[in-house]
């Protein structure tokens, strides 16, 4: 395992662009530390360009199909904004009930249709493994924007970019994940991605019925990363460098009574955060539904709104990489 700190300003490997041209982005398992460094470097350039000129013509003439079978605000609109800031355009399919999906069309057929019109497909779908099925059907690159409880790789990439921007490192961090670790795909991807770094410790704080899946914990353990599980935040908070808060995923519960038992289990507010370090970051993929009090929003440690903005630059970088213009 390399121990050098990641520095987004270092020059990147020469053939990194070629590595990603035409590729699907399905899982964080595809990303090495070098790949991350490359993504962060390009994201930095994208940020500079957005600040200087707003919109530019890197992907002029390219079309993105944004296919969402589940609700989304940030992921969908940030991919749209990313494509448009790069001069490309977007076919938005947010309401699949108004598309041929409602007539019973299969996912592979819908994908084959969209790739006739678009150069890249961004897919969010309720079933784990759906992005891989779509990628198999498509010749054009497919980007996984969340496959059920599986993965959300672009979120984990923007989460790690956020940690770099906020704390300046990805090594030697204690990251505490809080809330719905069973159904939350963002934490499944983030735990896997962070497990490549050295000196990482992962704490999982959740109600018993929402613990981190064994499959993810086994993969993280295989990388030699220490993990600890807690039912309450008290013990884990003082040592935490990144507190990653998640929403209880109501829509994934088989029994609504179970949801009622665990909703509102944790609430982060200024009082709770008194026990935390002064230099640390509180993150959340959003939307929040009560697990972070708005009273905490003005605290400098509250990074969740900045995290959304970083997502734009990371998604611009990913689109440019797979379309060969990074």
What minimum distance in Å lies between the beta carbon of 79 and ligand NCD?
A: 11
What minimum distance in Å lies between the beta carbon of 1 and ligand NCD?
A: 28
What minimum distance in Å lies between the beta carbon of 16 and ligand NCD?
A: 26
Q: Which is nearer to ligand NCD, 75 or 94 (CB)?
A: 75
What minimum distance in Å lies between the beta carbon of 128 and ligand NCD?
A: 12
Q: Which is nearer to ligand NCD, 16 or 124 (CB)?
A: 124
Q: Which is nearer to ligand NCD, 88 or 150 (CB)?
A: 150
Euclidean distance between CA atoms 55 and 168, whole angstroms: 28
Euclidean distance between CA atoms 222 and 166, whole angstroms: 28
Q: Which is nearer to ligand NCD, 85 or 124 (CB)?
A: 124
Q: Which is nearer to ligand NCD, 88 or 146 (CB)?
A: 146
What minimum distance in Å lies between the beta carbon of 71 and ligand NCD?
A: 8
What minimum distance in Å lies between the beta carbon of 185 and ligand NCD?
A: 5
Q: Which is nearer to ligand NCD, 37 or 72 (CB)?
A: 72
What minimum distance in Å lies between the beta carbon of 94 and ligand NCD?
A: 13
> Which residues are near ligand NCD by CB under 6 A?
74-75, 146, 152, 155, 185-186, 247, 285-286
Q: Which is nearer to ligand NCD, 130 or 155 (CB)?
A: 155
């Amino acid at each position: 395992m390399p121990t050098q700190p990641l520095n987004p300003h270092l020059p990147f490997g020469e053939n990194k662009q070629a590595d990603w041209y035409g590729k699907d982005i399905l899982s964080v398992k595809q990303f090495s530390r070098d790949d991350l460094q490359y993504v962060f470097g390009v994201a930095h350039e994208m940020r500079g360009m957005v600040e200087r000129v707003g919109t530019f013509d890197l992907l002029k003439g390219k079309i993105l199909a944004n296919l969402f079978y589940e609700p989304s605000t940030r992921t969908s609109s940030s991919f749209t904004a990313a494509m448009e800031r790069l001069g490309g355009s977007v076919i938005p399919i947010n309401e699949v009930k108004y598309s041929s999906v409602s007539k019973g069309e299969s996912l592979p057929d819908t994908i084959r249709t969209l790739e006739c019109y678009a150069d890249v497909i961004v897919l969010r779908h309720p079933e784990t493994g759906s992005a891989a099925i779509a990628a198999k059907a498509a010749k054009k690159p497919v980007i996984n924007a969340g496959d059920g409880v599986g993965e959300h790789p672009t979120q984990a990439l923007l989460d790690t970019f956020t940690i770099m921007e906020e704390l300046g490192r990805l090594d030697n961090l204690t990251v505490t994940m809080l809330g719905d670790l069973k159904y939350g795909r963002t934490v499944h991807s983030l735990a896997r991605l962070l497990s490549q770094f050295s000196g990482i410790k992962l704490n999982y704080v959740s109600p018993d019925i929402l613990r981190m899946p064994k499959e993810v914990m086994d993969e993280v353990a295989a990388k030699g990363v220490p993990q600890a599980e807690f039912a309450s935040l008290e013990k884990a908070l003082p040592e935490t460098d990144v507190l990653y808060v998640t929403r209880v995923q109501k829509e994934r519960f088989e029994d609504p009574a179970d949801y009622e038992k665990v909703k509102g289990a944790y609430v982060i507010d200024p009082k709770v955060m008194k026990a935390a370090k002064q230099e640390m970051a509180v993150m959340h993929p959003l939307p929040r539904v009560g697990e972070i009090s708005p009273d905490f929003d003005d605290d400098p440690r509250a990074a969740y709104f900045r995290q959304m903005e970083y997502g734009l630059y990371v998604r611009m970088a990913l689109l440019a990489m797979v379309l060969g213009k990074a």
